[in-house]
Structure 1
Amino acid sequence: MADLAELVGVLKAAGEGTRVRLLALLADGDHSVKDLTEILKQSQPRVSRHLKLLADAGLVRRNAEGAWAYYGLAQQGDGADLAQWLIARLDAKDADRRRDIERQAAVRAQQQALATQYFDTVASSWDLLKTLQVPEEAVEAAVVAALGGRKVNTLIDLGTGTGRMLEVLAGSYTRGVGLDSSREMLAVARARLAASAIGHAQVRLGDIGGLDLSVGLADVIVIHQVLHYFDDPGRMLAQARRLLQPGGDMVIVDFAPHELEFLRSEHAHRRLGLSQAQMSGWAAAAGLSVQAVQEFPSENTERGLTVCLWRLSDTTRTE
């Protein structure tokens, strides 16, 4: 519980019209300062000042991405509880609220158009998976099943790309965080999450090869089609292990060993698949153990790829 002075500070931060409108907008997903100035039709310094007060009081969180910053509702603490209480009591028919919703939809439509434009330029990477007949639907179903039907508190998706795993697993976590080093991909992911009304997930700019522990610890970490882009997947796995709660799980999806050299020369793959022995060795070195393995072979025996799913667990787990 907060002491009196802290609680009064939180109430003062929330007790202003524009700041309540900001909380309502952020309840629908992350926004940059630029987004919020367009929606509220207020100056950037004014909006930034309101956001700082809300952040200092623990009502919202700030995630810096270079010269930009994205804001979202706080997930924990007295500020988070108060924000949810206020938002639940807002009248959706209020004139300011209706205008904010309309402008928010327009901003998101513009973002979706930009994301689609970018996606069109990199569509060959996804079209490639179709030509190799990767069984995506079966793999996604297996990723969901790997969590055993439970709902975890925090799930982190490393190399989130388009945010597809956050979307697929949306019912399996209370808080989802996707990290990726590509601003363009993050724009696609944000548009995708907004279109699916997934407000309990956020994406952030981050180097997954040198992870920042400030992102917090996860009950489950997902690494989907990422490790083959690294010369040393074992090092990447050890980095990811630092973000895992004691007794937590990792779900890893990647290609089995193959001989399609053009993936290295034309599509930036550094490793031509990962073997079971390699994964077991990397996992052991990182303090993890392989609990289950599934293989999903392609029907294309000449040019297809086999996809593997590994579920790893922290070796300190106590049953």
Structure 2
Amino acid sequence: MREQKTIGLEQLVEALRGAGETTRLRLLALLQSGDLTVKDLTQILGQSQPRVSRHLKLLVEAALIERFPEGSWVYYRPSKSPVGLTAQALLNTLNPSDSILQRDQERLAEVKSRNAETAARYFAQSAQHWDRIRSHHISERAVEKALLELVGDKPFGTLLDVGTGTGRMLELLQGHYADAVGIDSSLEMLALARANLDASKTTHAQVRFGDIFNLPVARNTFDVAVVHQVLHFLDDPARAIKETAQALRPGGRLLIVDFAPHQLEFLRNEHAHRRLGFDEAQMASWIDDAGLDLLSTTHLTPEKPRPDALTVNIWLAQDPRILIAADTMQTRSTVTSETV
């Protein structure tokens, strides 16, 4: 995790000047809830796009927020610079019951709800053809081969498949786990997943209806969790990673499969993608913030590049708690040996 550093007097003055306006403070407070676009923020604040963009520009210039273009969209998020962390500390002193801030949060919830409904409609319409759609974009055979290599041959106890979709990950890894749970928020997808599990005679896995941001599973329970091609549909991928990380037992592993950055805008309109892939630095930061150690990143690039071909990345992370415990035990053993 990054430690907050001190900043100079002039930096603090510039930060306070940058944040010292009602709309800009509201923007900073909203961005604490996750990445948002200009369109999102315009709908929430009820202000014109040029006005919101101007305030965002000033916040970027003051190093209070960061700007991340993704195709024709631009996302904004709080800066993790010393100035940005100082601003976040100040925001923590705001009264959450303030009527303006409360109304902003209500509108934020409405915007996210509409985005989720768009994705849900897509899932419902595409459930029967989901595997075919995925194969059109990237070779699933290559992805699955790489996943199996990362999981390894050693059996483990419990698997959590977040956003299970057709249940393919539960089928693929059925020879590795003792018990598994797949979670999805689409009833159509869950029906298809159950049918696929029945067809593959996968009897030691179950699927459940649930929210990726509030998983209906116990904390510290799973040896392995998989988030396969899910994050690009979400408004707040970082929150989903944190929620999944909390379900891992000490030493548990997390596998995230998703696209590398790309420019295929049609995926937004035709396939409800909210994000056009994820760069390595951003994913590493989210994994770190979730309290996990990033172990490796695997890049799967199509052998025959074409305009609609996508590169897939697989991030492997691990809960470090068991490693810390092991190091402590080793240190104690060494001390005892030297003492004797």
Please give the range of the TM-score, normalised by the shorter of the 2 chains.
0.5 to 0.7
The Cα of 1:122 is off from its aligned counterpart by 4.0
The Cα of 1:126 is off from its aligned counterpart by 3.8
TM alignment of 1:61-210, pairs within 5 A: 122-123=127-128, 125-132=130-137, 134-210=138-214
Note the alpha carbon deviations across 1:146-174, whole angstroms, 9 max, x for none.
Answer: 11211111101000011000000000100
Which residue of 1 is the match for residue 306 of structure 2? 301
1:315 aligns with 2:320: yes
Which residue of 2 is the match for residue 277 of structure 1? 281
Which residue of 1 is the match for residue 52 of structure 2? none
TM alignment of 1:4-83, pairs within 5 A: none
- Change in CA separation of 1:202 and 1:284 when aligned onto 2, cut-off 3 Å: same
**What letter matches 1:314 in structure 2?**
D
SS of residue matched to 2:285: helix
Please, which runs of 5 or more residues in structure 1 have no aligned partner?
Answer: 1-117
- Change in CA separation of 1:176 and 1:309 when aligned onto 2, cut-off 3 Å: same
SS of residue matched to 1:171: coil
Distance 1:213 1:176 in 2: 11
The Cα of 1:245 is off from its aligned counterpart by 0.3
The Cα of 1:212 is off from its aligned counterpart by 2.8
Which residue of 1 is the match for residue 45 of structure 2? none
Distance 2:296 2:196 in 1: 30
- Change in CA separation of 1:119 and 1:191 when aligned onto 2, cut-off 3 Å: farther
Note the alpha carbon deviations across 1:117-152, whole angstroms, 9 max, x for none.
Answer: x999545544433433x1210110111111121111
Please, which runs of 5 or more residues in structure 2 have no aligned partner?
Answer: 1-122, 327-340
Distance 2:165 2:213 in 1: 15
Query: 1:119–1:188: 8 Å Cα contact kept in structure 2?
Result: no
Distance 1:198 1:123 in 2: 20
SS of residue matched to 2:321: coil
**What letter matches 1:140 in structure 2?**
E
Q: Give me the CA root mean square deviation.
A: 2.0
The Cα of 1:241 is off from its aligned counterpart by 1.0
How many residues end up aligned between the 2 structures?
Answer: 201
Query: 2:298–2:314: 8 Å Cα contact kept in structure 1?
Result: yes
Note the alpha carbon deviations across 1:15-59, whole angstroms, 9 max, x for none.
Answer: xxxxxxxxxxxxxxxxxxxxxxxxxxxxxxxxxxxxxxxxxxxxx
Distance 1:177 1:207 in 2: 13
Query: 1:162–1:185: 8 Å Cα contact kept in structure 2?
Result: yes
Distance 2:279 2:171 in 1: 28
SS of residue matched to 1:202: strand
- Change in CA separation of 1:260 and 1:248 when aligned onto 2, cut-off 3 Å: same
Distance 1:122 1:194 in 2: 17
Query: 2:220–2:246: 8 Å Cα contact kept in structure 1?
Result: no
Distance 2:194 2:219 in 1: 18
Note the alpha carbon deviations across 1:250-305, whole angstroms, 9 max, x for none.
Answer: 01110000001111122111110011101100000000111011111122332210
Note the alpha carbon deviations across 1:178-207, whole angstroms, 9 max, x for none.
Answer: 011111111111111111111111111111
Distance 1:200 1:207 in 2: 22
SS of residue matched to 1:170: coil
Query: 1:226–1:254: 8 Å Cα contact kept in structure 2?
Result: yes
Distance 2:283 2:158 in 1: 24
Which residue of 2 is the match for residue 260 of structure 1? 264
Taking structure 1 as the reference length, what is the TM-score of the superposition?
0.60
- Change in CA separation of 1:201 and 1:130 when aligned onto 2, cut-off 3 Å: closer
Distance 2:322 2:272 in 1: 36
SS of residue matched to 2:293: strand
The Cα of 1:238 is off from its aligned counterpart by 0.5
**What letter matches 1:142 in structure 2?**
A
1:219 aligns with 2:249: no
Query: 2:165–2:193: 8 Å Cα contact kept in structure 1?
Result: yes
**Aligned-residue identity in percent:** 46
Which residue of 2 is the match for residue 288 of structure 1? 292
SS of residue matched to 2:171: helix
- Change in CA separation of 1:229 and 1:150 when aligned onto 2, cut-off 3 Å: same
Distance 1:121 1:235 in 2: 25
